[in-house]
Amino acid sequence: MKTHYTRPLDLRSGRVDMNHGAGGRATAQLVAELFARAFDNPWLGQGDDGAVLPAPAPGERLVMATDGHVVSPLFFPGGDIGSLAVHGTVNDLAVMGARPLYLSASFILEEGYPLADLKRIVDSMAAASRAAGVPVVTGDTKVVEQGKGDGVFIATTGIGALPAERSPGGARARPGDVVLVSGSMGDHGMAILAVRESLAFDSEIRSDSAALHGLVEALYAALPAEAIRVLRDPTRGGLATTLNEIARQSGAGMRIEEAAVPVHPQVEAACELLGLDPLYLANEGKLIAVVAPESADAALAALRAHPLGSAAARIGTVVEDAHHFVQLATPLGGQRMLDWLSGEPLPRIC
């Protein structure tokens, strides 16, 4: 493809301007010199209004998931909006039981945003996409005036293939099932908060942002598909909100052992300082699995054998409860209700 631009995009000191979203030559240049170069793959290279893709194997169903990313700040310990956008959507597909196949990315940029920072985000997004093995096959870029956006928003959509025998879902939890988590709770939420509030700790709290599809495949490799009742990634609203969603969908209750829920001491301490509960903080690389009781040991072993699940734990069970409450058994023998997140939200955590 011959380029017609008199000079290359200034990725060192240039800034996003309204032309980059107007659909003309400047848009074409931004796409060619930044996006297409970073995400380089044959589908994106087709250069049409969308991407033509091989369909899933016969017998497989499609899964589609979408996420808008508005995290603030855009860069944080352990990641940035680019890698987070890939992980968030890959994980939505993974917890449906699907093998993630393709991603799309829609960028809404604010006029004046430094192109160098945009390049860092796009490069990070491309690296996360390559590491996950899930290409960004099509995209779109829009620009809004200064003061009508906030640097960079990224909406990602993913397509996955769901094997016939898999059907995890919130409604499938049943009394007696075991609730597992793949690791410590609250790392992502606290990493974002720590940056926002300029909290200084002995060692940095890092986001757990990671792609979970490998961990999910490890679980399916170790268990009968039927034994995997529910998979979820506890993002906004944290573990507490996700467990309440599952309880509502299944019409059952849950009993969770507070002492069994892994939380980094650093996160625990920061939560005490800020008056927050780590069970309501967002995670971006943790899996909740509700599994059949007879498969719980195998599931825990499979999670622990995977690098992203080395701190996996069994945290409770599904119980009969007409009110579908999530009850938390405290270390001192007490009991409290783990309600939905309400009151003070943590905005723009993802």
Residue 96, interface with its own copies (CB under 8 A)?
A: yes
CA distances, 299 to each of 93, 199, 347 (Å)? 20, 37, 34
Residue 225 CB, nearest approach to its own copies (Å):
14
Binding mask 199-238 for its own copies (x = CB under 8 A): ---------------------------------xx-xxx-
The beta-strand segments (E) located in 61-211 are 61-69, 75-76, 79-80, 99-110, 136-144, 152-162, 178-181
Contacts of 28 by beta carbon, 8 Å cutoff, 6+ apart: none
CB-wise, 217 or 245, nearer to its own copies?
A: 245
Is-contact 127 94, C-beta < 8 A?
no
DSSP secondary structure string for all residues of 288-310: EEEE-GGGHHHHHHHHHTSGGGT
Which residues 328-347 are close enough to bind its own copies by CB under 8 A?
340-342, 345-347
Residue 42, interface with its own copies (CB under 8 A)?
A: no
Amino acid sitting at position 210: A
Residue 28 CB, nearest approach to its own copies (Å):
8
CB-wise, 157 or 327, nearer to its own copies?
A: 157
Residue 275, interface with its own copies (CB under 8 A)?
A: no
Residue 174, interface with its own copies (CB under 8 A)?
A: no
Helix (H) or strand (E) holding 121: helix 115-132
CB-wise, 185 or 266, nearer to its own copies?
A: 185
CB-wise, 103 or 303, nearer to its own copies?
A: 103
Residue 240 CB, nearest approach to its own copies (Å):
9
Binding mask 75-94 for its own copies (x = CB under 8 A): ----------------xxx-
> For tokens 């301490």, what's the residue?
269
Residue 106, interface with its own copies (CB under 8 A)?
A: yes
Among positions 8, 23, 45, 133, the unique one binding its own copies when judged by CB under 8 A: 23
Residue 56, interface with its own copies (CB under 8 A)?
A: yes
> For tokens 């609730």, what's the residue?
179
Nearest to 338 by CA among 226, 209, 208, 240: 240
